[in-house]
Amino acid sequence: MSGADDRAIDLLREMVEIPSSSGQEAQIAKYLTGAMASLGFTSTSVDQAGNATGVLTRGPGPHVMLLGHMDTETGEVAGGIRDGMLYGRGSVDAKGPLAAMICAASRADFAGKVTVVGAVEEETPQSRGAVHVRETYEVPDAVIIGEPSGWSSVVVGYKGKLDFRYQVKQPAAHPASPTPKATEMAVNCWNTVQGLLGPTITHAAFDEPGLTLVSMTGDPARAEIEVSVRTPPDFRTGPLLETLRRHCPEGELVVLNDIAACLVAPRNPVVRSLCGGIRMGQARPVLKKRTGTSDMNTLAQSWKVPMATYGPGDNTLDHSDDEHIVLGEYLNGIDVLTSALAELSLTLREEDRS
């Protein structure tokens, strides 16, 4: 193992040791700006949203953004390195991919500009960090989103998401009264959503909607449910909400989040460069579509540039009590990203000339 690999492992270990649940990312943002400066980034800063940003400028050429997130789900996971694996909250989701991006940017033979962003609050419905980047940063020529795809896989699609809350109030009444109860109305709203989405609702398929009852509280006088619908490409949330309000007029329906699905071209320059890097690592690349959402959905809403999602780590360990990353795969991921950046430096320049 080289000295550069040792430093890469130290970077990830130190990142994982810093608690950074959503809304509590200030400490790790400060750490990352210092770490990127020590790796030779041209400039580093923390923006108004709290995102940690590092820029590497190496002459004229294309601009590629690598965006991962610093925040994690809450909950402690015993850390440390054991049997070639690094344990701890965020080791997979998504400090491993973000650390790999930082290391790759510092190593890559890239003519142009690379911007690395450690975003805040990806694990929240609003994705405040990525929204701030989308609305205020210069639009790059290409984007790689850092999420655990597995070192030999590239994610080309994510479902969208509609989150809403249904709240209903009724005058207090005896349990035996024939007057409809608030709890019954909330249940009726849930049943109505299920009926409107149809019999094929599932979280197992990319092309079908998925449905989750996130929470339910209440009594006969006051009740509330929160619902999440994972939406496939071309799903129209407006008609669903309009029909639901018509069928459940007694309560108030509040939309918390509404973001479209994202599906990128499987032969775009970012996907091709990542697949090329995977082949250089003697593996066969696999293209995946995910039934969750990521910051790729947020940026793709208005940034019409080539993009894809990539990062080392097993996504089935996201948020688990056994969250860990295989260090050999983490180092492979750095190599893939390093190769992809070098390839993008050439291909994006060629496309710009053509």
Q: Mind telling me the catalytic residues?
A: 71, 122
Q: Are 14 and 2 in contact (CB under 8 A)?
A: no
Q: Are 92 and 79 in contact (CB under 8 A)?
A: no
Instruction: Name residue 27's amino acid.
Output: Q
- Identify the CA nearest to 34 among candidates 137, 94, 118: 118
- Identify the CA nearest to 143 among candidates 182, 175, 117: 117
Residues 6+ apart with CB under 8 A from 119: 51, 67, 68, 69, 70, 71, 127, 129, 130, 133, 295
Q: Are 344 and 62 in contact (CB under 8 A)?
A: yes
Q: Residue 164 has what DSSP assignment?
A: E
> For helices 3-17 and 26-38, what crossing angle results, to 10°?
170
List, in sequence order, every residue forming a beta bridge with 113; answer none if it has no partner: 57, 63
In the chain, what is the straight-line distance between the N-terminal and C-terminal CA atoms, in Å?
41
Task: Compute the distance between CA of residue 128 and CA of residue 120 in angstroms, rounded to an integer.
Answer: 7
Q: How far is CA 34 from the centre of its chain?
A: 24
Instruction: Name residue 113's amino acid.
Output: K
Structure tokens at 277: 């890097």
Structure tokens at 323: 């969250």
The burial class, CB within 10 Å (0-12 / 13-18 / 19+), for 339 is: buried
Residues 6+ apart with CB under 8 A from 224: 165, 166, 167, 168, 186, 215, 216, 217, 218
Per-position b or e across 64-73, b if 16+ CB within 10 A of its CB = bbbbbbbbbe
